[in-house]
Structure 1
């Protein structure tokens, strides 16, 4: 039986060659020369969501939006929320406040100009807002964003702020931060909000975790994945190290089937509909 609690489904719209772990193999200056697969993959996701009657939020790179404006308009036309993933997929933690301001301002302007809708939300690439760059929340508020989903309250080798709140909270500046969902078990936070963990672990683990959040914590969850994760035919980077290849390619061939189970087991909606106050 499908859960009665509405959860927020999110897609980080970036292509396979733009992920942080593969940055050394795809320099930014060469992106335009790399065959893109994001348009076809997002089309597949839109069809899947339509099939299950689900809505979602698409955190979209400005770089992608400029090259595929019809895709951005289709996301909006299908009733999904369009939000920002920054312009060029550079980690917030790797930027100065001035560079970060320029990046998020440009992305917001590009997305709004193409779509004709207000961009209220932002997600930092690789969840790169943490204890050392909390100033990013102030920049986001100053540039007109209403919410962020950029903090992952887990311990991870590339990101994470395990001592931060597990559920949405307002900053003193009025910005709402919506952390990616974790489950509390054995005295620590465990990832439950998607990404590589969703591909790595058996599906029942994710189902148990999300149900625990809905039923025990009595809270809505926020879940994420990427378009390249449903694309097992994507070009492989043989020169990548073993850890990177494992994280990026594990169980890609099973991802669509797992998403179908997820869409069937839980109720999914846009971030703004699940977490933001109704006007």
Structure 2
């Protein structure tokens, strides 16, 4: 199975490159990309998980409700994308539940940064998908973390997928820069090893990011953005479907793991 996750947030990434962008435009760009994703998912008839900041959801409740109407899961991406306090874990969950009218059981930390698992459990989450179990210069070194799912403080940890052995990350930047043929080959090998894929993207990737004066992004970020990125993700989905891979929401995957554990206990 393949878990597709989309981190829906206020588009503040240009700040990392010394650029300024108004909050209204942050919302506009994220919303434009989200609508592209929703249309693509409806066309392909698959369900996914949207990890949303409460800040985005409060300002765009109609988009959150459309996600729910289309059958997708709403999970938490924190309260703000560039500000974090431990109390935001519970507050974002409650805000998203109020807006979506659904239970919010999953969490992903902004920028996949470390988060206290005891606080995740305390806030009432069942799963956390905040680990990229690889090394990225200037971001993190998680070679000591498991590649596939495990439990910590009774919270199911679902790391982002990386290839076996070398732990090459199969994340959003890879989908911008690598040949699709190579991504499909690595994805197949990883799925065979782990039994699933956990891939994550952002709505703003589905908009044109080539304006360096405005966004400040290097070529490896803006490459294949906008319509080209939507086409690449559509191609990947078609390849996966043709090869009999299935797509699931992350909460469904979590429930299956929990049920397997219960069955194992009963069989003892």
- TM bin (shorter chain): 0.7 to 0.9
CA apart distance, 1:162: 1.5
CA apart distance, 1:261: 1.1
Q: Which runs of structure 2 are paired with 1:104-123 in the superposition (5 Å)? A: 104-123=89-108
Q: Secondary structure at the match of 1:88?
A: coil
Structure 2: distance between partners of 1:35 and 1:219 = 36
The count of aligned residue pairs is 251
> 1:200 and 2:177 equivalent?
yes
- Check 1:113–1:250 CA distance in 2 against 1; reply closer, same or farther (3 A cut): same
List runs of 5+ in structure 1 lacking aligned partners: 1-5
Of 171, 176, 190 in structure 1, the residue corresponding to residue 168 of structure 2 is 190
- Does the aligned pair in 2 maintain the 1:14–1:61 contact within 8 Å? yes
- Check 1:106–1:35 CA distance in 2 against 1; reply closer, same or farther (3 A cut): closer
Q: Secondary structure at the match of 1:63?
A: helix
- Does the aligned pair in 2 maintain the 1:22–1:240 contact within 8 Å? no
Q: TM-score, normalised by structure 1?
A: 0.83
- Check 1:21–1:34 CA distance in 2 against 1; reply closer, same or farther (3 A cut): closer
CA apart distance, 1:218: 4.6
Q: Which residue of 2 aligns with 1:275?
A: 254
CA apart distance, 1:240: 6.2
> 1:7 and 2:2 equivalent?
yes
Structure 2: distance between partners of 1:20 and 1:174 = 36
Q: Which residue of 2 aligns with 1:36?
A: 28
CA apart distance, 1:19: 2.4
Q: Secondary structure at the match of 1:79?
A: coil
Structure 2: distance between partners of 1:119 and 1:23 = 32
Structure 1: distance between partners of 2:200 and 2:26 = 25
Q: TM-score, normalised by structure 2?
A: 0.86
Q: Secondary structure at the match of 1:86?
A: coil
- Check 1:72–1:204 CA distance in 2 against 1; reply closer, same or farther (3 A cut): same
Q: Which residue of 1 aligns with 2:57?
A: 65
CA apart distance, 1:152: 0.5
> 1:248 and 2:221 equivalent?
yes
Of 193, 210, 213 in structure 1, the residue corresponding to residue 187 of structure 2 is 210
- Does the aligned pair in 2 maintain the 1:59–1:122 contact within 8 Å? yes
List runs of 5+ in structure 2 lacking aligned partners: 241-245, 260-268
